[in-house]
Structure 1
Amino acid sequence: MWSICIIPLVIIIAMTYCSHKWRNPTSKGIRLPPGSMGLPFIGETIQFFIPSKSLDLHSFLKSRINKYGPLFQTSLVGRSVVVSSDPDISHFILQQEGKLVELWYMDSFVRLVGLSGSVKDGSCIIAGSIHKRLKKLVFDQFGPQNLKAKLLPQLQEMINQALLNWTTQNFVELKHACTVMIINFTMSHLFGYDPVKYGEIQAEEFTHFFEGLMSLPLNIPGTTYHRCLKKQKSTLKIMKMMIEDRQAKLPEERTRGDFLELIVEDMKNNNLLTSDLISYMMFGLLLATFETISTTLTLTVMLLTQHPLVVQELERENKEIVQKRSVETAMTWEEFRSLTFTKQVINEVLRMGNFVPGFLRRAIKDIQIKEYTIPEGWTIMVVPSAIHLNPETYTDPFVFNPWRWKHLAENNVTSAKNFIPFGEGIRLCPGAEFSKVLLTLFLNVLATKYSWSQVKPGEIIRAPTMGFGKGYYIKVAEKSI
């Protein structure tokens, strides 16, 4: 009888103790940021992944910032996390890589992008000379020097051809159409991709991959993550074929000077650079390139459709530079730099879009911030949306107002602390300038040569990355001269 009574009592006491420890994860008597760890093991993961249909802060973030302030603790996918929406704290954290923090990825990202052999508990250890070399290769391909030398006319030709093709269709689903355009260009420019030789890569598959990067890593039939893992194999097979073809041709053929040629050369002198690792790196580069740009272009057109006065000003500015040319030529670097209002439109879309839910780092030692301590091993999520939608920095933050950027620039408000669409610190996106140029060229061509009308409104969905429920459809037509 005693044993029958004692065993349930012991279980209840143990569960109560574990639950208390989970909800109060104190360490060494330090003071943690306020917040809730949610349910044992599950944490607040479910709330984090609940879709939100707005450009506003995700409800998960908004409710906790209102309750706990700009720095709070939570638990996501089994990890203890401190979330920062404070510009000063976020700036400090992003400047501390290699000192107080290290890069960290969600488990779903690690497994889908193939970093499992280069990551320990989600923290990236591809660092040092390899990281620097890869970053330099990407920067050489997409940086200002190459943009000036040859990419500007190539990008403009790509955009002209895509928009002209769209006019031949009754309507286009804009996100998909932009994805196809960017994937084809990036694959060709970086890797010398030939769809006839290697087989067609479907744009839809890459869109699903990106959804899987920020999903629960449940490899169960029917889940987003499971679908991504299944589709991953065919794409990686193509990547490995391309690597092997280049290896067979080198050193006899050195004609392209693209990313793949240069990285295959590096493989000869670095045993860590295997064909498997390089194929995953190529895969990751494509994901980073196409998804953010295609989503940005789609949101840009959605917002422009709702704001005809902005479209009028875009047309005025871009027609001015076109009319100054004696003949029709590609945009020059000087013309690109002169498009002030166009850049303001892009900044405003990036500010409101917040396509990356957060930048993740992991504390490699205890970090003292104000009266709180972030313990070693905890994940830190810097949330750009909270910074970009801060009413203390941006008046009426949910109003699409490109003209605000003139005032902000005059008052030096747009510092690195208040505007971080491409990250900050040593992890600043090396393709940032490429993205800005592509967006500028797209708006230039669209505003001067084409008109469009909305066929079917898209529904913005954050889950937590941004998507467009049921698609955003437009009809594109050439302007009559």
Structure 2
Amino acid sequence: MWFVPNLEIVMGLMALIAIAVSHWKYKWRIRSSGGKLPPGSMGFPLIGETIEFFMPSKSVDIPPFLKKRTKRYGTLFKTNVVGRPAVISADPDFNRFILLEEGKSVEMWYLDAFAKLLGHDTTTDLEVKTNVTGYIHKHVTNVILNHFGPERLKDKLLPQLQAMAEKTLNAWSTREFVDVKRDCAMMIFNLTSELLFSYDAERTGENLTGDISRLYQGLMSLPINIPGTTFHESLKSQKKLLNIIEREITERIASPGIRKRDLLDHLLEDMKTQTFLTRDFITYLMVALMVASLETVSTGLTMTIKLITESPRAVQELIVINESFRLASISPGIVRRTLKDIHWNGYIIPKDWTIIMVQTGLHLNPEAFVDPLHFNPSRWKQQDIEKVRANYYIPFGGVGGHALELNLPKLCMLYFSKFWWVKVKGGEVARTPMLDFGGGFHIKVSKIQE
């Protein structure tokens, strides 16, 4: 079933207005430092262009909201989403500049739903008061790289990835059919939850993938906590996941002599010397990492399998992963908040504004990719592809530390070459604005006899 926001808009419009009114002075204030804002429209009073931004599109193409505005205003334009003044960018030069400014003039940020569901508001006051945003980002990134970076992946994780892929695919071959997105999500969760906090999903018998998926769906929803809305369901799933992590933290603090050598152990050890690493910070970070790894990898892998189903010979090319992630553009955007006024090409982006760098505007740009909606893995063999990759390809936000997200699908597809499969049903895609597979994508998997 496609996600259609009409019910939520009807139920929550008055609540949304109330939220926006309470923030009116802060959200709509144009700072007195002067300067010309990028072109664009702030939409209707209070609600801005929120409704059109969330309208689903049953296509992998650039969403109508973005296509319409880039045609009219160019690749950098202003808008207002969920009561927040924002600049949306499909400009590769501007995006590269912003990503390099992480922790300097911008910080990682989310729309209101993101902030509430992933706990960004639990750290904002600390970061602003102590002016250590860049240090926090650097420290957390280094910890994650230590556990999931290229060296760790090569030396420690590959055997686990191999065992997981073989076990999963062999199990799939015994079933009548599998729902690729759902079953890939379970496979990814079984691995990443063990690496993050030694959670044995099979032993506990508790399937948390549904809760993670519901939390993910709420990240780009209207932040209205009314029964029946996506955001309300996401909050319930958030509470469940937070409780699981909080219990694990409590048990480990009570038994300091027991070490599991996972990411959570590392963060708890760093609590002794890093004041920003509070229990709340670590709890929300662990949930955020679960959501990011599960949804990014499972959606990208599902898209890869779908595209290969339509072009079977591409399974032999591991570069197919780059092409499928380009077409998928899984995340609707990379979001940052300005810490000070930013000047760019005669424009000003005021302090405290939101910046949304949209990946579809880059990945599906016909100036960078010929026939951009066509699945063509061989395009990644072109001589000038590295220049294109540097400017128009940011599947994971353009930051390091995403070896797991990219290499796990590659490894899985390597083992998929030992199997063949056929489509059973489904496979229709849409952007809601996140990439979604309507009624699922079901395939029958069989092992190739040697």
* TM-score for both structures, normalised by structure 1: 0.83
Distance 1:216 1:429 in 2: 30
In structure 2, what is the equivalent of residue 434 of structure 1? 404
Per-residue deviation, residues 171-205 of structure 1 (Å, max 9, x unmatched): 11110000001111111122111347766142111
- What is the correspondence of 1:279-298 to structure 2 with a 5 Å cutoff? 279-298=283-302
Q: Kindly indicate whether residue 365 of structure 2 is the aligned counterpart of residue 365 of structure 1.
A: no
Distance 1:264 1:24 in 2: 40
In structure 2, what is the equivalent of residue 15 of structure 1? none
Query: What amino acid does structure 2 have at the position aligned with 1:457?
Result: G
Q: Kindly indicate whether residue 408 of structure 2 is the aligned counterpart of residue 404 of structure 1.
A: no
- CA apart distance, 1:87: 1.1
In structure 2, what is the equivalent of residue 81 of structure 1? 86
- CA apart distance, 1:62: 0.4
Per-residue deviation, residues 34-90 of structure 1 (Å, max 9, x unmatched): 111110000000000000111110110001111111111111010111111111122
In structure 1, what is the equivalent of residue 311 of structure 2? 307
Distance 1:199 1:162 in 2: 17
Q: Kindly indicate whether residue 419 of structure 2 is the aligned counterpart of residue 413 of structure 1.
A: no
Of 422, 428, 451, which residue of structure 1 is paired with 2:396?
A: 422
In structure 2, what is the equivalent of residue 14 of structure 1? none
Q: Kindly indicate whether residue 215 of structure 2 is the aligned counterpart of residue 209 of structure 1.
A: yes
- What is the correspondence of 1:271-350 to structure 2 with a 5 Å cutoff? 271-311=275-315, 314=316, 341-342=317-318, 344-350=319-325
Residues 197 and 262 of structure 2 are in contact (CA less than 8 Å); yes or no, is this contact kept in structure 1? yes
Alignment length, in residue pairs? 424
Residues 103 and 133 of structure 2 are in contact (CA less than 8 Å); yes or no, is this contact kept in structure 1? no
The gaps in structure 1 that reach 5 residues or longer are 1-18, 315-340
Of 243, 246, 249, which residue of structure 1 is paired with 2:252?
A: 246
Residues 330 and 435 of structure 2 are in contact (CA less than 8 Å); yes or no, is this contact kept in structure 1? yes
Residues 79 and 378 of structure 1 are in contact (CA less than 8 Å); yes or no, is this contact kept in structure 2? yes
In structure 1, what is the equivalent of residue 446 of structure 2? 477
Distance 1:229 1:122 in 2: 24
Residues 60 and 328 of structure 2 are in contact (CA less than 8 Å); yes or no, is this contact kept in structure 1? yes
The gaps in structure 2 that reach 5 residues or longer are 1-23
Query: What amino acid does structure 1 have at the position aligned with 2:67?
Result: K
Per-residue deviation, residues 118-156 of structure 1 (Å, max 9, x unmatched): 125999977344433322221111111111212111101
Query: What amino acid does structure 2 have at the position aligned with 1:219?
Result: N
The 3-state SS of whatever aligns with 1:94 is helix
Q: Kindly indicate whether residue 241 of structure 2 is the aligned counterpart of residue 225 of structure 1.
A: no
Give the alignment's Cα RMSD to 1 decimal: 2.4
Query: What amino acid does structure 1 have at the position aligned with 2:447?
Result: E
The 3-state SS of whatever aligns with 2:157 is helix
Per-residue deviation, residues 298-355 of structure 1 (Å, max 9, x unmatched): 00011111113323xx1xxxxxxxxxxxxxxxxxxxxxxxxxx31x211111111111
Q: In the superposition, relative to structure 1, how do residues 450 and 95 fare at CA in structure 2: closer, same or farther (>3 Å)?
A: same
The 3-state SS of whatever aligns with 2:56 is coil
Q: Which moved more, 1:275-284 or 1:195-204?
A: 195-204
In structure 2, what is the equivalent of residue 386 of structure 1? 361
Who wins on radius of gyration, i.e. which is larger?
Answer: 1
In structure 1, what is the equivalent of residue 273 of structure 2? 269
Q: Kindly indicate whether residue 414 of structure 2 is the aligned counterpart of residue 444 of structure 1.
A: yes
Query: What amino acid does structure 2 have at the position aligned with 1:388?
Result: H
Residues 198 and 238 of structure 1 are in contact (CA less than 8 Å); yes or no, is this contact kept in structure 2? no
The 3-state SS of whatever aligns with 1:403 is helix
The 3-state SS of whatever aligns with 2:52 is helix
Residues 326 and 395 of structure 2 are in contact (CA less than 8 Å); yes or no, is this contact kept in structure 1? yes
Distance 1:463 1:267 in 2: 38
Query: What amino acid does structure 2 have at the position aligned with 1:154?
Result: Q
Q: Kindly indicate whether residue 28 of structure 2 is the aligned counterpart of residue 54 of structure 1.
A: no
Distance 2:443 2:289 in 1: 29
Residues 309 and 423 of structure 2 are in contact (CA less than 8 Å); yes or no, is this contact kept in structure 1? yes
The 3-state SS of whatever aligns with 2:161 is helix
The 3-state SS of whatever aligns with 1:373 is strand
The 3-state SS of whatever aligns with 2:145 is helix
Query: What amino acid does structure 2 have at the position aligned with 1:232?
Result: Q
Q: Percent identity?
A: 44
In structure 1, what is the equivalent of residue 145 of structure 2? 139
Of 137, 147, 156, which residue of structure 2 is paired with 1:150?
A: 156
- CA apart distance, 1:210: 0.3
Distance 1:113 1:383 in 2: 20
Of 163, 167, 173, which residue of structure 2 is paired with 1:161?
A: 167
- CA apart distance, 1:429: 4.5
In structure 2, what is the equivalent of residue 116 of structure 1? 121
Query: What amino acid does structure 2 have at the position aligned with 1:72?
Result: F
Distance 2:45 2:205 in 1: 46
- CA apart distance, 1:421: 1.2
Q: In the superposition, relative to structure 1, how do residues 375 and 263 fare at CA in structure 2: closer, same or farther (>3 Å)?
A: closer
The 3-state SS of whatever aligns with 1:361 is strand
Query: What amino acid does structure 2 have at the position aligned with 1:382?
Result: M
Distance 2:253 2:205 in 1: 19
Residues 160 and 445 of structure 1 are in contact (CA less than 8 Å); yes or no, is this contact kept in structure 2? yes
Query: What amino acid does structure 1 have at the position aligned with 2:397?
Result: G
Distance 2:202 2:404 in 1: 27
- CA apart distance, 1:435: 1.9
Q: In the superposition, relative to structure 1, how do residues 272 and 164 fare at CA in structure 2: closer, same or farther (>3 Å)?
A: same
Q: In the superposition, relative to structure 1, how do residues 302 and 195 fare at CA in structure 2: closer, same or farther (>3 Å)?
A: closer
In structure 1, what is the equivalent of residue 38 of structure 2? 33
